[in-house]
Homo-oligomer: A and B are copies of this chain.
């Protein structure tokens, strides 16, 4: 494993990364994935370093994945979530971050409802800043774990037809995926209701369609985004039932996909809405492998950004 092509203290987004850097990160994640399969799932790479999970927007899954990634690298972890945070006392984000750095924190993983919050911190801090989701802007580790999963299963990414289905407009997962996949040479199709998949996304180098059957017909990979029905915007589509009928991946539609089309979803899944239960659990679904790979990718991100000098124990 070589880390010579990685030269950032932060991971703010996919937009900033070169193809070489992305490949370096995915290669490092491959080495770390083996760590999760051992009896002792721990390496000393970040021993004596401190990571803060600063989640101004709640998230159990991403927080847990980063927390475990850090602990498997032997780092110390502090969790700070909104409700507990001194942010309720009116302190600015800048002051919160400077205070965390004053505690000799090495890494700050931040999730924030405002796009650009991690970029703002990265300019202020010597500590590594990792974007764990900023507004509707980027969610780079999700895109990296998606790419890792595609590469692992399909052997390559360039030339593949990848269809992303659902709420593209408000999704940071979609944005980061689009940037990453097009950089790596995939053909990206976006599909869903016209209210959620505007034509302007063609400017990102994607094909945009509102005909789901056309969108999935030639797809090698189908990535279903989560419908945020708990905060459903009535103006975007009429009802959950109607969304499921019009855009959900049900058995009829699934039967018309390519026989080796791979099914992805960032989770948590809404069974019976954007995806039928049987399809989520079928052999062509890699949804749980995405979770496993997310941990490996996050270990790689923490390791590369926090200046680990040593390669993971036993991994090369």
The verdict on A205 contacting chain B, using a C-beta distance below 8 Å, is no
Residue in contact with A288 in the complex, picked from B64, B99, B268, B288, CB distance below 8 Å: B99
The answer to whether B84 touches A60, judged by C-beta atoms less than 8 angstroms apart, is yes
Nearest to A101 among chain B residues (CB) is B288
- Which residues from chain B contact A268 at a C-beta distance below 8 Å? 86, 89-91, 95-96, 99
The verdict on A311 contacting chain B, using a C-beta distance below 8 Å, is no
Chain A interface extent, by class: 35 or more
- Which residues from chain B contact A84 at a C-beta distance below 8 Å? 58, 60, 81
User: Could you write out 30 A-B pairs with CB less than 8 Å apart?
Assistant: A39-B48, A40-B47, A40-B49, A41-B49, A41-B50, A41-B104, A50-B68, A50-B71, A59-B86, A60-B84, A60-B86, A64-B80, A64-B103, A67-B78, A68-B76, A68-B78, A71-B76, A72-B76, A90-B229, A90-B268, A90-B270, A91-B268, A92-B271, A95-B268, A98-B288, A99-B288, A102-B289, A103-B291, A103-B295, A104-B295
Measuring CB to CB, which residues of chain A are less than 8 angstroms from any residue of chain B? 36-42, 47-50, 58-61, 64-65, 67-68, 71-72, 76, 78, 80-81, 84-86, 88-92, 95-96, 98-104, 229-230, 267-271, 288-289, 291-292, 295
- Which residues from chain B contact A288 at a C-beta distance below 8 Å? 98-99, 101-102
Residue in contact with A103 in the complex, picked from B65, B89, B91, B102, CB distance below 8 Å: B65
The answer to whether B292 touches A104, judged by C-beta atoms less than 8 angstroms apart, is yes
